[in-house]
Copies of this chain bind each other. A is one copy, B any other.
């Protein structure tokens, strides 16, 4: 393993962004780096903004929001809604589910293949199922 840590060659990021029609700007690259360098993550805009600043990346909160939405539209992220006041963005774009701890606001992935939902009624007339989302709300035992 001469260079890089297997799954994420930094060099892949610019191409990955450009491939989705996003110009690999300094800010987007830095944010993508933070997001995708370390396994599956669940971040809020504020989280990511803070992280960027801590990492010495000069980026505005508005740009973080823009980037998160652009990444989501481009299929690099998925948004998760578990609580009204914050928006979470999930780097895992495969179908999967979540544990959510209301107390500390933490999200944990549940592999989509692990869970099976049985007994689903037919969707209302004229609509079809886009996605089944399971949220397991946790309390401290």
Complex copy number for this chain: 2
CB within 8 A of A115: which of B85, B110, B118, B135? B118
B137 x A131 contact (CB < 8 A): yes
Of the candidates B102, B110, B116, B138, the one whose C-beta lies within 8 Å of that of A118 is B116
A124: which of B82, B83, B99, B115 is its contact (CB, 8 Å)? Answer: B99
Q: Knowing A130-B139, A135-B135, A137-B129 are in contact, say whether A114-B123 is a contact too (CB < 8 A).
A: no
Chain A's interface: helix, strand, loop or mixed, by majority? Answer: strand
Q: Tell me the smallest distance from the CB of A141 to a CB of chain B, in Å.
A: 4
Can you list 20 A-B pairs with a CB-CB distance of less than 8 A? A81-B82, A84-B85, A84-B86, A99-B123, A101-B124, A111-B121, A114-B119, A116-B119, A117-B134, A123-B138, A126-B141, A127-B141, A128-B138, A128-B140, A129-B139, A131-B137, A132-B137, A133-B135, A134-B135, A135-B135
